[in-house]
Structure 1
């Protein structure tokens, strides 16, 4: 399903969270005027309105929502209607205190904030699903209804619960997963530390333990909590699908967010939506771009919707600086360049009271259209109206990065050789090298079909689950190029060591054996030397980790320069079938990583869509009709110039025609389509 192709809204989404229950109804009509002026075509409503919609366990009040839905329809604005279950009302906590989550110390959370529910609570699910059914039955035929929004930012605050209900459900989950206690004991290695179980009721949660809990238990608990939250979501999803099967359903994710296996969640979302809040003064938002690509990858390239960003400043950091003029627009176009079919905000009107009253909004506390923020909101909204051609266009990418939530969980469990090896940080290094070369990137699962990619990167692929070894070997055997890094290929899906020398499942593919590894202390460095690989040569610093590598067919590209393994391989290349497999046995400085990636890209025949100065971001989307749209975004504080390919180009935003060269003012964006 392409949500943007929904017959009710065949445009790029533009709008934000709308919370009119916080305002007297005379404000609503002015909201409609300002929304239409700004080009808003959809708003998210009801996200935190459970207590207003349901004053008590057996009473409901939909009158205000009826008036709101009718007003939106009259104004030509669509509704992304939320199920309101993100924040249970106070009466539930009073009647069912067991619905409140419990932390690892056994302390129960209090009502008075948000997300104060255990996902396995029977009361939470019962009352929430009753409300969802009433909403769906009441508004299923309403002309304003375009999409369903379940809950909000699952696991944002409560990603783990240690209550009695979760303990019981964990045992059920384990029995379903393993079938027998003998199998569980084998998978968890419970003969270590006398942890063997003889009854399912002996198994608890990995809460407050004297020292390290069982790694297999910890890993399965993370899986269980992700599944528990997903099951709570599915309880609402199934009701909505039953009553409104034609309408798209989603929940807003949070990018590279550790607690949820979002590839699994994506199977049950008709469109991916997510919330992005980069720190506004930290320079080019490379990590935001990476997360856009990750979210697009959750459904194999299907465009996503940015459900939340901020116009100006958030309220939850230690200090909360403003986005400078033009930055909101620039970063919104970055979203679209990376596959977004819409940009929305939290929230429409800045709140008068409550914990987020200082969080920025499309309409600020001034309350009118005279603020800088509203003028930028209006400019962007009017521009997006011209870009219907981009709806459902797909991002072009010849490079993929393997991403795996289970690998992330396992890699960062305690009792490791180094706690400084962090999954996202390893991914970011290589993504940044690709981003700075304007090379498009897809994110894929380890078991995905890799055949369409010229280069696949798998940094820190610590876990090799069943089928992954064969998938990687088939890809390289068929002519692909793979790069992986230190501490990869170490364990199976239960965090048990693959015996036979590191990295046992990848030794044949990589043509090497890692006999030992040496995690470095903070501040400790080594060096690597490369005599010439493409344009890469010289000596570079490295830190964090060093592998002691024995070659078994691979060729060295770089060697360590210090310590007892000076002269031994640090980076290798191995021909395997028709392709090549690279291995990086340390964390090198950025200059080396960039040079290595550049050389491998050249060897694989991958190029940027255009030569551009540093600080200019390029991306390409291609429509179903074959039309190709080149995005150029200038993140520099000064104007820059780039040479265009031969021919004439139209800028979809401004309508002007360009040929020969392209000049971009600071924070400027163009979307170029070649004229026939």
Structure 2
């Protein structure tokens, strides 16, 4: 079942904190929101101390008045359960609810997200406040939905309180049944780590060289994800019972959480918090980085969970805390650009964070639409423009689906294992960036697909002409069979170095690499080496006349390949070092598809050549030409009509050549087959109604 938000038109919203402001401001705030075509506000996610000022005493009057005022102005309300910020009375009276560092030091009151998921007392108190809120607000006509907690696993995604160790012990016992099975899965025969009693089982604790058992470390991440889902389930079940007419979501995309399972089991749709400026202040180290445009990869990950989703927090200004995170102000037009970046990738409801910048607290530099002075500014004017545009075109966009015929595959096990394992983890980020960036600059839309969302159904993969699965060190036999079926039925799959050498426990297989896909690829790994320090990446020598472009290098890691099947074509060889002349890139046909294996991490130039060999081009290349600085993406309606988004991330204008009878939904003129996109400009092209 697809878990998507279901709206008839694009909707604009904003995060609002009535508890931060004098009640005298509320009416004017809500009036101005409606004038800007803002239809939705989010409230309450940090207000536990107001809802329950002392244990067992509940006060909802302030929010009753705020919600009543919002209702008078026709605003929809999303209510957040406030469990991300337990009040001082709670953590003082029940310190067992606090999270802890690996050495046992408790994280004290004074921040947020300082609790642990597995404290029985915290679960009890969270259930109480959730039920009290649900009972109180269930019939309020302004409320449309609920947000569970806020940003699960933000701030920290590891948990070492006593309750977590106890819960992990029980989790491991359920998972493995016997200590013999656990010892086998964790490889404890090494270094005399064998466990002889369940009481000896703990989450990773400080060790010499800070290097815990790697198989235990992998299970730690799986346990944390399960703990989050169990914790969220308590609240979701109460809300389903008490307020069945409201939808349920949560916001995030943080580490050590299977957001697909969370959504499938508990939510109506997924929500994401979009802050593209993070990719600008922390740019990738490669040449010509994507910067804020790279945020489209994160949005693609959210879209894989819910094809149409909510942006619960859209960046609306410079961001920062008092003591960390310092983002520059968005340039004129960028806030609107980032809003449409979210819409292109599937967002049908977008809420800006926040209405007005806080005057107190840690986030006094995390600016909202309005500044402290509450007077008009350019961010408000941009939001007003977006509001007018949503009102004009929203019904033509909402419910349409992003279109791509190539996907980058990902999976949680390899992400979690790769955090710890330096022999494959760093390769994935490098290769994913190279593929995504090259596809972006070539105007080829791409999906980012988690295999957990695919399951064992090859039909979910066959919508794509090409799959890129860069460095799947952990590769199960079931996944290998799924990919084999995909290839046999016409798909092309591309693997990278370090594929298939681990099983689901993270054990290295006693068989030739790449393990369960060796036969599919028709090769084995004869030798290998890290590319690091004084070891330089060898150039590639392309053996096909179809390969062109700049010189390319085999980066980060080199698998030296041995051809095992006469059907294998060697497309590139290593051009230097002791393995010069050995295969580096191979292709093998099986059924009506192909399996490719590249024995290195992917670089931009290599990806570009591979795309040429694949013959993969932009779906709009026959009628549209745009410079690199413009992102091109397509949202398609059920009737097959397309909305082609053009997003200019450049600080200068971009000239786009448009052939055929197209018009811009946002009103820009196309003269003599030319569209001029201003700096940070946006256009959404559609085929004219009277065209063929």
1:310 aligned to 2:308? Answer: no
- Matches of 2:634 and 2:415 in 1, distance apart? 30
Q: Secondary structure at the match of 2:408?
A: strand
TM-score by length of 1: 0.94
Offset of residue 443 of structure 1: 2.4
Matching residue of 1:663? 676
Change (3 A) 1:318 1:66: closer
Q: For the residues of structure 1 that align with 2:610 and 2:640, how far apart are their CA atoms?
A: 33
**Deviation string for 1:500-553 (max 9, x for gaps)?**
111111101111101222012146332112144535256323331111111112
Runs of at least 5 residues in structure 1 that lack an aligned partner in the other structure: none
Q: How does 1:394-473 map to 2 (within 5 A)?
A: 394-414=401-421, 416-417=422-423, 421-446=426-451, 448=454, 449-473=460-484
Give matches, 1:121-520, under 5 Å.
121-211=119-209, 212-254=211-253, 257-267=254-264, 268-279=266-277, 280=280, 284-299=291-306, 302-316=307-321, 317=324, 319-369=326-376, 371-386=377-392, 387-414=394-421, 416-417=422-423, 421-446=426-451, 448=454, 449-520=460-531
- Asked whether the 8 Å contact 1:481–1:604 carries over to 2, the reply is no
Task: Select between 381-390 and 349-358 the one with higher mean Cα deviation.
Answer: 381-390
Contact 2:6–2:308 under 8 Å retained in 1: no
2:6 paired residue number: 5
> 2:631, 2:550 → 1: CA distance?
28
Question: What is the rounded CA distance, in whole Å, between the counterparts of 1:412 and 1:585 in structure 2?
Answer: 21
CA RMSD of aligned residues (A): 2.2
- Confirm or deny: 8 A CA contact 2:552 2:606 kept in the other structure: yes
1:354 aligns to what SS in structure 2? coil
CA displacement 1:35-76 (0-9 Å, x = unmatched): 112221101100100011110111011001111111111111
Q: Distance between the aligned counterparts of 2:595 and 2:579, measured in 1?
A: 23
CA spacing shift, 1:583–1:398, aligned 2, 3 Å: same
The alpha-carbon distance between structure 1 residues 533 and 129, as it changes in their structure 2 partners (threshold 3 A), is farther
The aligned counterpart of 2:287 is: none
Q: Could you say what secondary structure the match of 2:631 adopts?
A: strand
1:318 positional shift:
5.1
2:50 is matched with which residue? 52
Whether the 8 Å CA contact 2:646–2:683 is kept in 1: the answer is yes
Instruction: Report the secondary structure of 1:11's partner residue.
Output: coil
1:525 aligns to 2:526 (yes or no): no
CA distance in 1, matches of 2:630, 2:363: 34
Rate the CA distance shift 1:27–1:3 in 2: closer, same or farther, 3 A. Answer: farther
Contact kept? 1:149, 1:251, Cα under 8 Å: yes
SS in 2 for 1:175: helix
Mapped to 1, the partners of 2:349 and 2:445 lie a distance apart of 20
Secondary structure of the residue that 2:362 maps to in structure 1?
A: coil
Is the contact between residue 36 and residue 387 of structure 2 (CA under 8 Å) also seen in structure 1?
yes
Q: Which residue is equivalent to 1:87? A: 85
SS at match of 1:385: helix
2:562 counterpart residue number: 550
CA distance in 2: counterparts of 1:270 and 1:587, whole angstroms: 38
CA distance in 2, matches of 1:252, 1:90: 24
- Matched position secondary structure for 2:553: strand
**Cα distance in 2 for residues equivalent to 1:605 and 1:361:** 37
Question: What is aligned with 1:591?
Answer: 605
CA separation of 1:657/1:243 partners in 2, compared to 1, >3 Å: closer, same or farther? farther
Aligned residue pairs, count:
665
Q: Give structure 2 stretches of 5+ with no counterpart.
A: 284-289, 455-459
SS in structure 2 opposite 1:540?
Answer: coil
Alignment CA distance shift 1:49-1:509 (3 Å): same
| 2:592 maps to 1:578 | yes
Query: Secondary structure, in 3 states, of the residue corresponding to 1:307?
Result: strand
CA contact (8 A) 1:439 1:608 kept: no
Report if the CA contact (8 A) 1:651-1:673 is conserved.
yes
Rounded to whole Å, the distance in 2 between the matches of 1:601 and 1:410 is 34
Matched with 1:673 is 686
* Cα distance between partner residues in 2 of 1:40 and 1:337: 19
Structure 1 window deviating more from structure 2 (570-579 vs 533-542): it is 533-542
Please give the alpha-carbon distance, in whole angstroms, between the structure 2 residues aligned to 1:163 and 1:182.
Answer: 26
1:166-187 C-alpha deviation (Å, 9 max, x unpaired): 1111111112112222222222
Which among 612, 618, 624 is matched to residue 632 of structure 2? 618
Q: What's the TM-score once normalised by structure 2's chain length?
A: 0.92
1:109-130, CA deviations, whole angstroms, 9 ceiling, x for partnerless residues?
1111101101111121111111
CA contact (8 A) 1:427 1:459 kept: yes
- Is this contact kept in 2: 1:398–1:606, CA < 8 A? no
Q: Deviations over 1:96-121 (max 9, x none)?
A: 01111111011111111101101111
* Structure 2 CA distance for partners of 1:453 and 1:3, relative to 1, 3 Å: closer
2:627 is the counterpart of 1:602: no
For residues 512 and 502 of structure 2, what CA distance do their matches in structure 1 show? 11
Q: Shift in Å at residue 351 of structure 1?
A: 0.6
